[in-house]
Amino acid sequence: MGKLTLFIVSDSIGETAELVAKAAVSQFNQGLETVSVKRFSHIEEESQLREIAFLAKQQNALVVYTLVKSTMRKKLLEDCVSQGIQCIDLLGPLVDVISMNLGEKPLEEPGLVRQLDDEYFKKIEAIEFAVKYDDGRDPRGIKKADIVLIGVSRTSKTPLSQYLAHKRYKVANVPLVPEVNPPDELFEIDPTKCFALVISPEKLNGIRKERLIALGLKHDANYAQLDRIKKEIIHFEKVVSKIGCTVIDVTNRAVEETANVIMSKLTK
């Protein structure tokens, strides 16, 4: 039974090339036992390519590479040919075809796919966080959050939390109700990460009436009464004053606009 050595060469981690190589090797009986895989990661200098080609010649290895820079791909191919060893470019041909079809030159920046993966998982983590700590379900999330939203009912705390989560912010939101003491955690966090959402009583009155109707309830319930709303806002103002956080009027603002205000203040 023959034995084979594979050299995996990449200007990033080399994980993609190794997975493809192992997938190919797995198609052969006892392939994983007879094939040795060596990974060369973060290769950025042409001198490194010459050394790898020299080693591959000594060990009679097959070179498999994913190099995003066309100059590096060309150089490795030349070095392999000069050493009389086999090499396989896993990335170049596909990049060239995509470039031709899009009419756009590739960025040729190593590691972009991993950056994209990291951003994706950060977004998923933030979305799950927003769901878990929505509507004051668990006050422990207040201290873990990047952003804490507070406000009376129907001030768009939940949709705003989700929008910000898609921007990779971990958001907890807490409803303020006169009959319920706000969690102690609200007064223990840095007030610069807390944002209080306020809305005009008249606007909120209309929103709550529509909400009741949508639920099949009478629109004149206490929840939508103007006096009740004013009482809630007075309570809201007392809590906000104690925290010392930023107040944002969302009366005539879309969720995206409110989010931009918050993100702008955080970046400053």
**Binding site feature residues for ADP:** 151-158
**C-alpha–C-alpha distance, residues 126 and 218, integer Å:** 37
Selection from 145, 144, 156 nearest residue 211 by Cα: 156
User: Up-side HSE of residue 235: CA atoms within 13 Å toward CB?
Assistant: 18
- Cβ-based neighbour number of residue 140 at 10 Å: 13
Residue 2, token pair as written in the block? 């023959």
**C-alpha–C-alpha distance, residues 155 and 75, integer Å:** 60
Q: Is 117 exposed, middle or buried (0-12, 13-18, 19+ CB in 10 A)?
A: exposed
Q: At what angle do helices 157-165 and 255-267 cross, to 10 degrees?
A: 60
Q: Where are the alpha helices (DSSP H) in 63-156?
A: 70-83, 92-102, 112-132, 141-144
Rounded to the nearest 10 degrees, how much is the dihedral formed by the CA atoms of 256, 175, 147, 122?
A: -80
Binding site listing: 151-158
- Cβ-based neighbour number of residue 60 at 10 Å: 11
Residue 172, token pair as written in the block? 């907890």
